[in-house]
Amino acid sequence: MDDSVKAAMGKWPNVPACYGWLGLDRRGQWRLQGETVRHAGLEAFLNRNYGHDNAGNWFAQNGPQKVYVALDYTPWVLRLKDEHTLVTHTGLAVANIEQAFFDEEGNLLLVCEHGPALADDRDLPALLARIVDDQGQPAAEADLLALMEGAALPLQLRWQERSIPLRPLKRAEVAVRFGFIPAPAP
């Protein structure tokens, strides 16, 4: 968090929170009242001052004011920086993938040290190529479709010399399972 933001929080501790203005889309782009943030400075500010409270609400700290974030899916979106490196939408490096899930819409969800994250759909082809069966063979399309339908199959995501079991998960269960609030409200 920026030092100027911390100073403002101390100086004006009782500024009301803001709801319904800021969102995070499925590709990790910030949105102000539905419009994509295109100003590099504002995007960098939001990235640096993004956090969450103990109740699972995510926000950007704007000086003394918390601006709560409506999440299109998860609090984090992961992108491939290169073929061996994932980063969050805020630019944080991902050192460890702890869990992997596939939902009924074909989304790949990864739990890393930063929390639950949606893999950017533009990186899905490269990430899906890393999914293998219990024999180490590339996953068949039929297996991925069965996983989307909720079947528990012995599929794994190979990442940085690790094999992470890939499990089905319903989209409606994601927020509750990982303890975040997709649409914070007063």
β-pair partners for 85: 82
- Residue 11: predicted pLDDT: 59
Q: What is the mean pLDDT of residues 32-48?
A: 96
> What pTM does this model have?
0.90
Decide if 155 contacts 147 (C-beta within 8 A): yes
Q: Where do the domains of the chain lie?
A: 3-71, 76-178
- Residue 120: predicted pLDDT: 98
β-pair partners for 94: none
Query: Minimal CA–CA distance to 117: which of 90, 150, 83?
Result: 90
C-alpha distance across the termini of the chain, in Å: 23
Lowest mean pLDDT among 5-19, 97-111, 148-162, 165-179: 5-19
pLDDT tens sequence across 108-166:
999 999 999 999 999 999 999 999 999 999 999 999 999 999 999 999 999 999 999 99
- Residue 1: predicted pLDDT: 65
Choosing among 3.30.70.1450, 3.40.50.2300, 1.10.1740.10, 3.10.540.10, the CATH entry for 3-71 is: 3.10.540.10
